[in-house]
Copies of this chain bind each other. A is one copy, B any other.
Amino acid sequence: MSKNVLILPGDGIGPEIVAQARRVLDLVNQQDSLDLQLSEALVGGAAIDADGVPLPEATLDAARAADAILLGAVGGPKWDTNPDFQIRPEKGLLGIRSSLGLFGNLRPAILYPQLAHASTLKPEVVSGLDILIVRELTGGIYFGQPRGVRLKEGNVREGYNTYVYDENEIRRIGRVAFEAARARDKRLCSVDKANVLEVTVLWREIMEELSKEYPDVELSHMYVDNAAMQLVRAPKQFDVMVTGNMFGDILSDAAAMLTGSIGMLPSASLDVDGKGMYEPCHGSAPDIAGQDLANPLATILSVAMMLRYSLNAGATADRIEAAVSQVLDQNLRTGDIWSEGMQKVSTTEMGDAVIAAL
């Protein structure tokens, strides 16, 4: 039975890195007879330019119909100054996440042994680092109502957003995190600000309730300020972390940067049935867009994640990950992960090398 994969190149370096990932996907599709049907659509700034909106109906329909989605990256200075807040590239991304119910965001922060030196942290602090951050992606303050900017008495402008979670949303992401921890080192750290925010008091309560169903997983709680500190102080203390949309945005980026090679990190955003959107952790890097300089490996590793989680092709995923490891062993590096003694390659050459390894 053939499956549909929708490819959304997006903005900035998105098209370049996705092009390499697509070559990889085309190849393994053929090699392993995966019977995948690939199609492409516009999202973000590219969609604004073509259709006037960041998430055209056609793209949303295609996303709904797909079994899995591969996204490059969205956003760029060109669209940042748009006074209409709804016509921003990010709204395309947020619209897909929310419309498709992709609530479960998995963000691994892994230090590749070949890139150990790339971290700004001392080797002993980060060597062997392997954290999984599970971030809630369709709720919290990102989507809470009411929101906006209004006039108070005296013509004073006031901006407001609402941070809200109900117990079902918390339980749903909690289960994803407990299951992930169960399949790893069985330690889950839930991050909140329960000493200040009521919404996270409920969060903590539900995590405690859930932990009764997962007696084999050790649950701990940490305030978000302390979590940010502990990620810098001793990141290897963590196995799986679970948190809401906003805290997850901040902590997963900090955790990714601990590895020094954010250009290597994929991510998955899953719905209740395991359908998902896959994208690199890094952004659209407008400063180097179109120059064949970007690192395509995070996107290629996102393809591997996609095959494993949404397309039931774990063996193919393993092959891709092994191929990536192999090109690192061959000392090939794009500029972002390059260091003395390594061979600097372009986006395309890195794609070539992975293809060759496969």
Contacts and interface: CB of A to CB of B under 8 A. Distances in A.
A107 to B, nearest CB: 11
Interface in A159-176: 159-168
Given A160-B163, A161-B197, A197-B141, A232 B232 contact: yes
Interface in A212-245: 224-226, 228-229, 231-234
Interface string A31-44: 00000000000000
A159 B202 contact: yes
A156 interface: yes
A158 B165 contact: yes
A256 interface: yes
Given A121-B122, A195-B75, A225-B249, A166 B161 contact: no
Report the contact-size class of chain A (Cβ under 8 Å from the partner).
35 or more
Contacts of A162: 160-163
Nearest to A224: B250
A174 B323 CA distance: 50
Interface in A97-125: 120-122, 125
A248 B57 CA distance: 38
Interface stretch (A59-67, A143-151, A181-189, A327-335): A143-151
A234 B121 CA distance: 11
Given A166-B152, A196-B90, A251 B232 contact: no
Contact of A120 (B85, B125, B156): B125
B202 A225 contact: no
A157 interface: yes
Interface in A52-109: 75, 80, 85, 88, 90, 94
B164 A163 contact: no
Nearest to A259: B232
A163 B166 contact: no
A309 interface: no
Contacts of A199: 149, 159-161
4 smallest CB-CB distances across A and B, nearest first, come from: A159-B199, A159-B202, A158-B166, A228-B254
Interface of A: 75, 80, 85, 88, 90, 94, 120-122, 125, 141-142, 144, 147-149, 152, 156-168, 193, 195-203, 224-226, 228-229, 231-234, 246-247, 249-254, 256-258, 260, 262, 283
